[in-house]
Amino acid sequence: MVNAPGSATTRTYAMGRQADRPTSPGSLEAALGLALVAAEGTRGVLGLLRRHSPEEVWAAGRRDLLEWTEGRPWVDRFIDLRSRTFPREASSAVAAAGLVFIPWGSAGYEADLLALDLPPAGLFVKATPDAFDQFSVGARVAVVGTRKASDYGLRVARAIGRAFAERGVWVVSGLALGIDGRAHRGCLEAGGRSAAVLGCGADVIYPRRHRELYERVSSEGVILSELPPGVRPAPWSFPERNRLLAAISHAVVVVEAPRRSGALITAHRALDLGREVFAVPGRVQESVNEGSNRLLYDGATMCLDPASLVEDFLRFTRKETSPFLSGVRDHGSADSGESGLEQAGRLAVMALSAGPCSVDAVAGVAGITSREASAALGLLELRGQVVRVSPGTYGLSER
Amino acid sequence: MAAVRAYALIGTGAVGVQVEAHVRPGLPGVSVVGLPGVAVREARERVRSGAASTGLPLPTQRITVNLSPADVKKEGPGFDLPVALAVLAASGYMGTGALQGVGAMGELALDGRVRPIHGMLSMAEAARDEGLRLLVVPLVGLAEACAVDGVHAVGVRDLREAVMLLRDAEKCDRFLERGRRWLRARKNVVTIDRGPDLADIAGQRHAKRALEVAAAGGHHLMMVGPPGAGKTMLARRLPSVLPLLDAGEALEVTRVWSVAGLHRAEAGLATQRPFRAPHNSASRAAIIGGGSPPRPGEASLAHRGVLFMDEFPEFGRDVIESLRQPLEEGLVVISRKAGSLTLPAAFTLVGAMNPCPCGNLMHPERVCRCTADMLDRYRGRLSGAVGDRIDLFIDVPPLELSAFESSGGLDDDSAVVRARVESARSYRLEREAFLGTPPPGSESGSTVGQSHPARLEARLGLSESARSLLREAISRHVVGGRGYVRALTVARTLADLDCVAGISAEHVAEALSLRDPGYEYRGASSAAVSW
Ligand SMILES: Nc1ncnc2c1ncn2[C@@H]1O[C@H](COP(=O)(O)OP(=O)(O)OP(=O)(O)O)[C@@H](O)[C@H]1O
Ligand SMILES: [Mg+2]
Ligand SMILES: [Zn+2]
């Protein structure tokens, strides 16, 4: 079965955003084709996306390619792979894997990705449209660190995840064991939203020990990768993933990173992009802290404690207004029993049991404000428990 | 020959007109050429007698006055003063250079006094843009002309003063100084009147809250209630809770009002937001503007203020339909022979209506005698493009006794409510600045429906519980597509009033209570009129 181009794959994502960069079916296919070919080994071709659109690259002749790349050796290999790649068929495989492809230049494609040496041809995303929309407008921080973390590191990572979650900041990490996983968990525990950037296909669960975490992040948050579905992790894919992690986040927090670690690569890529880098101080003479302490020595901002880290993040990234986004979470609705609204509704019903009256009269009898009364009556009317018996006068419904 | 600048009004703007006078031997008389309107042709008589009573009789020669460019229609008595000055200069009462770089405006009385005219603000702006050396204006209109930065205006009481100051630079300085003193003195006596205050209204807290919401979010509002419930009284107080006019808005309002001849010239700039309440028999032209010369209609006079339409369904269908453009774009376009004219018309619409034509629908004791057809026609005025843009509907019940037993102290007065409105508006701006430029035509106001729902919800910060309540409203068919967007936008305004990022379930519930309950009336009406 062959899908109509882009039908399942673009779905509702990215609608209405950045209308000046429309995505035609042709450019969607070209971007998908490039993503597939790049994953086969000619990643260099992505460098062309800084100057050319996927459509141009996908259609380019050998002469142009040689000229644009100043005669890179992979050009012929690319042409060969290109002739054997059929993006239209692949697009149904993407949909079958439960993924959505966000192509280069479409509205969901973060403009900062174009600042990378090798901009991805697109992102494969596993998320609800809703979550992805919120992700793309939200404040996002990467929290990264070593897989072989100390107890202290794990504790701090979790606290940091929670602290960001409480301010509505998306916690982005790599779903790895150790610090990554703990940061995701801390965030989710606090009711926040988390995103994972993978070094394998977005449908591939790696490490397997994080299956349950993967499920939670994909159902409540966003999982993304530039690699096509089914691609297994490879040693080269993690550094590449790290650059994506840096580009998609507004700042990077490093918790416990040895010298020569993925977390440090993420931090340096973030610095290249002009992002703020934060680091959690660790004990000296312990190899697990060598990289992160070095960052501090070189001028990264120190995490004094999780709360002030969040404040600094909001200030530095000028996301200080991010409470604008934190409202997507509810405060004490589920566990605190009756909500204020329901309570007002109950009082309003009691007030109306004496006979129909106006909003203001309901407020007076129930001892609530007029606006609480109108909210309560709005709810009760919606549920059919009260009706308007005459203009401005509510009464209990007969039913 | 002598020439001076004058200004012709086109809509709320003005364009420069060159007034040239030429004196030559021939049959004594004054002729005006160059598309003069009736009032401008009559200027001849006022100029002649004004000059004579000033002691500067016109020569018994042939005087031709030419107004150019010839294709601009020149209307109104404002050309009297410039015509007189050009004629007097051509007759040798002033040196040749006296009118160099000078503009003038004003009507002449037969005794030579100079009176204020319509549209002085717009004319002064045009003079400023032309970089005139001096603008001679009626002294009473000096405050209005001087509201324009960078205009060198001098006020005169009569034609004699105008001639004196143009002849003699020293005199000119004295008149300029007099003008400055005059403006300073005025400043101390002008009191800013904010109009009627919310504190005058007993009870009606629900309706007052709706006014606050309308002001904070720029929503249009419909009030449904029986006669005498206080709808007019409430609507009249909406301007008092809107933010004060800022400098730019004050210019806009003054321009329109001045052109319409409704602005008191000595008042300088407008300080109050307009409140206009046209009668339901008003014609389309009276609301939208038009005529020759074109006059701003009620929609433009309500610019930056409130247009109140009492007995909304009684307005003509064409009148209601014609509001579509101002509600969508904040302006009206009047088409005329000489091209179309755009006038500003950004207002908050407040409508008032009875539940049915006879007013007794659903009344506990009285009987409604309206037929189902009548009801449909009545409510039908609310459907369509204009009704769809009214976000807020409230019932205004008759005053209750309990309103006087003020529970919990006095209600907030307009200043307090206005402060909340202002903070909500600045919170909204801050939030929007943080979120960056929305996709074209999203969120704010009427075009909100063009955003994808999920995107809109994320952008507006809808919380989970709020979302599920809204979903429930949709699934119970309490709101449809448009109603969904309206409820969402109103809920956002409620959250802005609380200065919180997230829209809570309370906000959504309150927004739902502020929606059009029309369908329920209709459901009930079939029983009421079953006879
Ligand atoms: N809540 C109130 N507080 C103080 N005075 C009130 C109140 N309600 C009504 N009034 C008095 O009743 C008069 C009638 O009110 P208003 O003209 O605003 O009613 P309306 O709803 O516009 O009526 P209609 O439908 O006849 O136009 C007001 O001038 C005012 O004196
Ligand atoms: Mg009235
Ligand atoms: Zn009736």
Closest ligand 1 atom number to CA of residue B398: 8
Residue with tokens 């030559």: B24
Residue with tokens 């009875």: B354
**Is A372's CB within 8 Å of B407's CB?**
no
Q: Which ligand places an atom closest to the C-alpha of B369?
A: 3
Does ligand 1 come within 6 angstroms of the Cβ of B204? yes
Residue A353 Rama label (left phi>0; alpha psi -120 to 50; beta): alpha
Whether residues B409 and B459 share a domain: the answer is: no
**Closest alpha carbon within chain A to B209:** A371
**CB-based burial of residue A370 (10 Å sphere; 0-12 exposed, 13-18 middle, 19+ buried)?**
buried
Whether residues B367 and B498 share a domain: the answer is: no
**Closest alpha carbon within chain A to B353:** A391
Whether residues A191 and A276 share a domain: the answer is: yes
ipTM of the complex: 0.79
**CB-based burial of residue A330 (10 Å sphere; 0-12 exposed, 13-18 middle, 19+ buried)?**
middle
Cα A280 to Cα A136: distance, rounded to the nearest angstrom: 27
Q: Which ligand places an atom closest to the C-alpha of B361?
A: 3
CATH of the domain at A145: 3.40.50.450
pLDDT tens per residue, range B384-432: 778 788 999 998 887 766 555 555 556 788 888 999 999 999 888 888 8
With beta carbons less than 8 A apart as the criterion, state whether B118 and B78 touch: yes
Whether residues A157 and A223 share a domain: the answer is: yes
Residue A193 lies in a domain: yes
Whether residues A146 and A277 share a domain: the answer is: yes
Residue A53 lies in a domain: yes
pLDDT band at B470 (very low <50, low <70, confident <90, very high): confident
Which of the residue ranges A322-336, A364-378, B210-224, B466-480 would you say has the lowest mean pLDDT?
A: A322-336
* Closest Cα to atom 18 of ligand 1: B230
Q: Which domain holds residue A209?
A: 127-317
* Per-residue pLDDT at B452: 66
Residue B426 lies in a domain: no
| C-alpha Rg value of chain B to the nearest Å | 28
Q: What percent of chain A is modeled with pLDDT above 70?
A: 88
**Is A341's CB within 8 Å of B509's CB?**
yes
- End position of a domain, from candidates A297, A317, A337: A317
pLDDT band at A16 (very low <50, low <70, confident <90, very high): very low
Cα B121 to Cα B259: distance, rounded to the nearest angstrom: 8
Tokens of B277: 């309440």
pLDDT tens per residue, range A150-176: 999 999 999 999 999 988 899 999 999
Q: Which domain holds residue B167?
A: 2-188
> Residues of B with CB below 8 A from A376's CB?
509
Whether residues B14 and B159 share a domain: the answer is: yes
CATH of the domain at B172: 3.30.230.10
Closest ligand 1 atom number to CA of residue B310: 27
Count of domains for chain A: 3
Q: Which ligand places an atom closest to the C-alpha of B229?
A: 1
Whether the pLDDT of residue A132 is over 90: the answer is no
Q: Is B197 on the interface with A (CB under 8 A)?
A: no
Residue A17 lies in a domain: no
CATH of the domain at A380: 1.10.10
* Per-residue pLDDT at B520: 42
Write b or e for each residue in B92-106: b if 16 or more Cβ atoms lie within 10 A of its Cβ, otherwise e.
Answer: ebbeeebbeebbbbb
* Per-residue pLDDT at A88: 87
> Residues of B with CB below 8 A from A329's CB?
463-464, 502
Residue A7 lies in a domain: no
State the CB neighbour count (10 A cutoff) for residue B89.
25
By Cβ distance, the residue of A129, A339, A387 closest to B520 is A387
Q: Is B431 on the interface with A (CB under 8 A)?
A: yes
Residue B419 lies in a domain: no
- φ and ψ at residue B394, rounded to 5 degrees: -130, 150
* Closest Cα to atom 30 of ligand 1: B230
B341 three-state secondary structure:
strand
B 57-76 near A (Cβ less than 8 A):
none
Residue B440 lies in a domain: no
Residue with tokens 């990378």: A116
Residue B453 lies in a domain: yes
Enumerate residues with CB within 5 Å of ligand 2 (an ion).
Answer: B 232, 310
**Residue bearing the bigger pLDDT, B190 or A52:** A52
Does ligand 1 come within 6 angstroms of the Cβ of B227? yes
Q: Is the C-alpha dihedral spanning B192, B194, B196, B202 positive or negative?
A: negative
Whether residues A337 and A310 share a domain: the answer is: no
Cα B16 to Cα B32: distance, rounded to the nearest angstrom: 17
Whether residues A66 and A181 share a domain: the answer is: no
Q: What percent of chain B is modeled with pLDDT above 70?
A: 89
Sheet strands side by side (includes A393-396)? A357-358, A393-396, A386-390
Residue whose C-alpha is closest to residue B203's, from A384, A357, A176:
A357
Does ligand 1 come within 6 angstroms of the Cβ of B230? yes
- Mean pLDDT over all residues of chain A? 84
Calculate mean pLDDT across residues B455-480.
80
CATH of the domain at B490: 1.10.8
DSSP state string for A109-178: S-GGGGGSSS--SEEEEEE-HHHHHHHHHS-EEEEEE-SS--HHHHHHHHHHHHHHHHTTPEEEE---TT
Whether residues B403 and B452 share a domain: the answer is: no
Does ligand 1 come within 6 angstroms of the Cβ of B398? no
**Is B450's CB within 8 Å of A15's CB?**
no
Whether residues B133 and B241 share a domain: the answer is: no
Q: Is B234 on the interface with A (CB under 8 A)?
A: no
Cα B140 to Cα B459: distance, rounded to the nearest angstrom: 52
With beta carbons less than 8 A apart as the criterion, state whether B477 and B515 touch: no
> Residues of B with CB below 8 A from A112's CB?
none
Whether residues A177 and A275 share a domain: the answer is: yes
- End position of a domain, from candidates B359, B388, B414: B414
**Closest alpha carbon within chain A to B479:** A382
> Residues of A with CB below 8 A from B440's CB?
19
pLDDT band at A336 (very low <50, low <70, confident <90, very high): very low
Residue A5 lies in a domain: no
Whether the pLDDT of residue B6 is over 80: the answer is yes
Whether residues B294 and B364 share a domain: the answer is: yes
Cα A110 to Cα A102: distance, rounded to the nearest angstrom: 10
> Residues of B with CB below 8 A from A110's CB?
none
Cα A205 to Cα A32: distance, rounded to the nearest angstrom: 22
Whether residues B22 and B160 share a domain: the answer is: yes
**Closest alpha carbon within chain A to B224:** A391
Whether residues A258 and A131 share a domain: the answer is: yes
Amino acid identity of residue A196, one-letter, is: A
pLDDT band at A399 (very low <50, low <70, confident <90, very high): low
Whether residues A185 and A56 share a domain: the answer is: no
**Closest alpha carbon within chain A to B440:** A19
pLDDT band at A319 (very low <50, low <70, confident <90, very high): very low
Does ligand 1 come within 6 angstroms of the Cβ of B15? no
- Gap from CA of B311 to ligand 2 centroid (Å): 8
pLDDT band at A342 (very low <50, low <70, confident <90, very high): confident
Interface A-B, measured as beta-carbon pairs within 8 A, has a size of 171
* Per-residue pLDDT at B220: 95
- Gap from CA of B356 to ligand 1 centroid (Å): 19
B211 CA: distance to closest CA in chain A (Å): 12
Calculate mean pLDDT across residues A72-80.
90
* Per-residue pLDDT at A12: 35
> Residues of B with CB below 8 A from A168's CB?
501
Whether residues A103 and A134 share a domain: the answer is: no
Tell which of A250, A358, A372, A380 to mutate to test the B interface (max B CBs under 10 Å).
Answer: A358
Beta bridge partners of B309: B351
Question: In Å, what is the CA distance from A389 to each residue of A396, A397, B348, B520, B525?
Answer: 9, 9, 30, 9, 11
Whether the pLDDT of residue B29 is over 50: the answer is yes
* Torsion on CA atoms B419, B424, B427, B432, rounded to nearest 10: -140
By Cβ distance, the residue of B209, B229, B478 closest to A370 is B209
Cα B250 to Cα A323: distance, rounded to the nearest angstrom: 35
Question: Model-level pTM?
Answer: 0.64
Residue A210 lies in a domain: yes
Whether residues B372 and B464 share a domain: the answer is: no
- End position of a domain, from candidates B140, B161, B188: B188
Does ligand 1 come within 6 angstroms of the Cβ of B229? yes
**Closest alpha carbon within chain B to A135:** B458
**Is B403's CB within 8 Å of A360's CB?**
yes
Whether the pLDDT of residue B308 is over 90: the answer is yes
B 252-311 near A (Cβ less than 8 A):
none
Q: Which ligand places an atom closest to the C-alpha of B353?
A: 1
Count of domains for chain B: 3
**Residue bearing the bigger pLDDT, B159 or B39:** B159
- Gap from CA of A145 to ligand 3 centroid (Å): 73
Residue B460 Rama label (left phi>0; alpha psi -120 to 50; beta): alpha
| C-alpha Rg value of chain A to the nearest Å | 26
Cα A43 to Cα A39: distance, rounded to the nearest angstrom: 7
- Gap from CA of B233 to ligand 1 centroid (Å): 6
* Per-residue pLDDT at B519: 42
Whether residues A195 and A245 share a domain: the answer is: yes
- End position of a domain, from candidates A317, A343, A363: A317
Q: Is B403 on the interface with A (CB under 8 A)?
A: yes
pLDDT tens per residue, range A179-227: 999 999 999 999 899 999 999 999 999 999 999 999 999 999 999 999 9
Whether residues B254 and B357 share a domain: the answer is: yes
Whether residues B374 and B483 share a domain: the answer is: no
> Residues of B with CB below 8 A from A383's CB?
472, 476
Determine what percent of chain B falls in helix, strand and coil, rounding each to the nearest 5: 45, 20, 35
Residue B260 lies in a domain: yes
Calculate mean pLDDT across residues A2-13.
35
pLDDT tens per residue, range B160-200: 999 999 999 899 999 999 999 888 877 766 566 677 888 88
* Closest Cα to atom 4 of ligand 1: B201
Whether residues A209 and A299 share a domain: the answer is: yes
Residue A21 lies in a domain: no
**Residue bearing the bigger pLDDT, B440 or A301:** A301
* Closest Cα to atom 29 of ligand 1: B233
**CB-based burial of residue A6 (10 Å sphere; 0-12 exposed, 13-18 middle, 19+ buried)?**
buried
Whether the pLDDT of residue B505 is over 60: the answer is yes
Does ligand 1 come within 6 angstroms of the Cβ of B411? no
> Residues of B with CB below 8 A from A389's CB?
362, 364
- End position of a domain, from candidates B399, B414, B429: B414
Whether residues B169 and B56 share a domain: the answer is: yes
Whether residues A76 and A144 share a domain: the answer is: no
B121 three-state secondary structure:
helix
- Cis omega before residue B397 (within 30°)? no
- Gap from CA of B226 to ligand 3 centroid (Å): 11
Q: Which ligand places an atom closest to the C-alpha of B396?
A: 1
Does ligand 1 come within 6 angstroms of the Cβ of B331? no
Whether the pLDDT of residue A398 is over 80: the answer is no
**Closest alpha carbon within chain A to B394:** A392
* Per-residue pLDDT at B156: 95
pLDDT band at B497 (very low <50, low <70, confident <90, very high): very high
pLDDT tens per residue, range A32-48: 999 999 998 889 999 89
Residue B500 lies in a domain: yes
Residue with tokens 């606290």: A159
Amino acid identity of residue A129, one-letter, is: P
Calculate mean pLDDT across residues B484-511.
90
B248 three-state secondary structure:
helix
Q: Is B402 on the interface with A (CB under 8 A)?
A: yes
pLDDT tens per residue, range B96-148: 789 999 999 999 998 999 999 999 999 999 999 999 999 999 998 898 998 88
Residue A113 lies in a domain: no
pLDDT tens per residue, range B337-393: 777 889 999 999 999 988 888 877 766 677 778 887 888 788 888 877 787 889 999
- Mean pLDDT over all residues of chain B? 84
Q: Which ligand places an atom closest to the C-alpha of B230?
A: 1
**Residue bearing the bigger pLDDT, B62 or B387:** B62
By Cβ distance, the residue of B396, B434, B495 closest to A321 is B434
